[in-house]
Structure 1
């Protein structure tokens, strides 16, 4: 009889212990669910840049709202948290949690992805974003982002050539001119037509133009206004010889440390849909800034199809082949990747 009572008592004690442990576990889970996780988001654009105001800040607010305040996104613009050319690596190493970087700011870091920036692939930021996500989803370029958790990729829209007092109508007009370029891809294109290329962040171009260090810039329209270059340049050549890509990515360990429901919040606000949405902002502002230059009376030159233009075709194709030949990634047929990029471009055409 005593044995049975002891057995019942032991069972009661065990049940009480389990309930206590369960209560503690539930309390701990509740505490963890109430914990606010801060994500540090770094980019080189200014606080008032249209991309910051219309893409990055709304993205941060949406993530905070969807997480019921359990995620807080702190945005650090103007390269205050990471330098423009090492932001991707800073995200990979965990110095920052989320970062935005043009692919071309670190030469050789995304050589296969940058094939999509070549002429003949896209004519808008939206189209390039679609191309990049298509190539990523198909496994063509995904290896280049394996050390981070990719959020989305954007296209800036075709780069033009913007100069002070010197209209660019033919390759001969560029001979010897010092032109700021975004990347090695753009450099190969510009050098093929005789320009002297100078690499520097967009944030340094104003003073360089002002001091005569450079004669012009290769940029889409949006940063011409964002970095106040419209105060200095007055001649613009629209020639879609290059379209810059941007990667927005997250530290992999930080992402993996999130509970599943918060991972879903990040995932639901990422991917091709977000990349295209952000790129549409680039495209809209590009059109607005271009119109402002027309209204100001700036000189406008249009070369909409340079690969079929007698003056531009041969040098640009030479520049393309130079870049494709320079990409030395094991197992990658660069010509095949270029053809896949063009096919994606046709499928993604807006």
Structure 2
């Protein structure tokens, strides 16, 4: 046993010495992704950040995206354990751990993903970081998808029609919305929605317009209620293994982080906004029935009444985090609504 362990250690040291010259010249940063390669996160966000990283480190760090590594909720653990170096995930897939992130998801914010993502990043660092909800990983960015809308197999005439309908909900604020609407909630990662709609397992889904194209929902969810500002925004994080960062030179670590943070958050939000626009175009081209709801239409009025009190409920729910959630929410909205002005 002793000899076997000795040989194992000796072999590892020899291999490490043999590869040290190559490793010092180029470090591969392995990113795990769970959405299809055509999705904006993989077609735009990761490639853009990869280029930034490579340029900032003068080619010493290169990014490689890998697929099919499991459920998106496992990405936090995979990165923390070092199975992959970096990834992203939706906070709503890990209920209980992430509560403060639901601040940016609250209804009636009325902005796009880019504005919300910048507000998300700034307020997290000012108010929420000390609560250590992301303990075990290092944050690269925080962003949101665009406004979540109602996608159905069959048309509805009011929100009341959703009662008892089987709706796929992704977690986070969606869960509270579904509860208030009386839907039958069905949990599943976003890439499974097409199959579930196609097989009739669910009647609809709350999700942004980008997925009409990227997840091909235009083929199975032929009816969309497009509320002004949507119903909610979905909170995401991009994150990296701290040990991987520590393994870089200080110069390269600083370079990677310099092209992350607010810059990356804004770029990710902007890419998902563009995905929404492309999703709308693809849906219209495929004959999807999109009900464009005006601010004073019955759907909008019904929704405003439905979400009354949600701010206060969220603030109460995060008391144990010991942050000023009320001030954070107000500042988040101020930043988002004034972004770009």
TM-score range, shorter chain: 0.7 to 0.9
Mapping 1:155-234, distance limit 5 Å: 155-167=144-156, 169-234=157-222
Tell which structure's C-alpha radius of gyration is larger: 1
Partner SS, residue 273 of structure 2: helix
- Give the Cα–Cα distance (whole angstroms) in 2 for the partners of residues 262 and 305 of structure 1: 49
Structure 2 unaligned residues grouped into runs of 5+: 1-19
Cα offset, 1:157, TM superposition: 0.6
Partner SS, residue 307 of structure 2: helix
Cα offset, 1:328, TM superposition: 4.8
Q: Does 1:337 align with 2:325?
A: no
Residue 251 of structure 1 is aligned with which of 231, 238, 241?
A: 241
- Give the Cα–Cα distance (whole angstroms) in 2 for the partners of residues 165 and 125 of structure 1: 28
Partner SS, residue 344 of structure 1: helix
Mapping 1:232-311, distance limit 5 Å: 232-239=220-227, 240-303=230-293, 305=295, 309-311=300-302
Instruction: Give TM-score, length-normalised by structure 2.
Output: 0.85
Cα offset, 1:88, TM superposition: 1.7
1:285–1:32 distance in 2 versus 1, CA, 3 Å: closer
Kindly indicate whether the alpha-carbon contact (under 8 Å) linking 2:162 and 2:183 is maintained by their aligned counterparts in 1. yes
Cα offset, 1:304, TM superposition: 5.5
- Give the Cα–Cα distance (whole angstroms) in 1 for the partners of residues 26 and 224 of structure 2: 48
Mapping 1:127-146, distance limit 5 Å: 127-141=115-129, 143-146=132-135
Structure 1 unaligned residues grouped into runs of 5+: 1-29
Q: Deviations along 1:175-194, whole A, 9 cap, x unmatched?
A: 11111111131110122122
Kindly indicate whether the alpha-carbon contact (under 8 Å) linking 2:32 and 2:69 is maintained by their aligned counterparts in 1. yes
Cα offset, 1:233, TM superposition: 0.9
Q: Deviations along 1:124-173, whole A, 9 cap, x unmatched?
A: 11011011111123133453234322111222110001001223x42212
Q: Deviations along 1:16-55, whole A, 9 cap, x unmatched?
A: xxxxxxxxxxxxxx95884422211011111222321111
Cα offset, 1:318, TM superposition: 4.5
Match of 2:11?
none
Cα offset, 1:340, TM superposition: 3.0
Mapping 1:54-93, distance limit 5 Å: 54-77=44-67, 80-93=68-81
1:320–1:238 distance in 2 versus 1, CA, 3 Å: farther
Kindly indicate whether the alpha-carbon contact (under 8 Å) linking 2:154 and 2:203 is maintained by their aligned counterparts in 1. no
Kindly indicate whether the alpha-carbon contact (under 8 Å) linking 1:104 and 1:110 is maintained by their aligned counterparts in 2. yes
Cα offset, 1:305, TM superposition: 4.7
Cα offset, 1:96, TM superposition: 1.5
Instruction: Give TM-score, length-normalised by structure 1.
Output: 0.83
- Give the Cα–Cα distance (whole angstroms) in 2 for the partners of residues 223 and 308 of structure 1: 22
- Computed over aligned residues only, the root mean square deviation of the Cα atoms, in angstroms, reads 2.5
Kindly indicate whether the alpha-carbon contact (under 8 Å) linking 1:159 and 1:241 is maintained by their aligned counterparts in 2. yes
Kindly indicate whether the alpha-carbon contact (under 8 Å) linking 1:113 and 1:141 is maintained by their aligned counterparts in 2. no
Match of 1:16?
none
1:255–1:82 distance in 2 versus 1, CA, 3 Å: farther
Kindly indicate whether the alpha-carbon contact (under 8 Å) linking 2:159 and 2:299 is maintained by their aligned counterparts in 1. no
Q: Deviations along 1:58-95, whole A, 9 cap, x unmatched?
A: 32233234323321322113xx2343112123222322
- Give the Cα–Cα distance (whole angstroms) in 1 for the partners of residues 323 and 52 of structure 2: 38
Partner SS, residue 265 of structure 2: helix
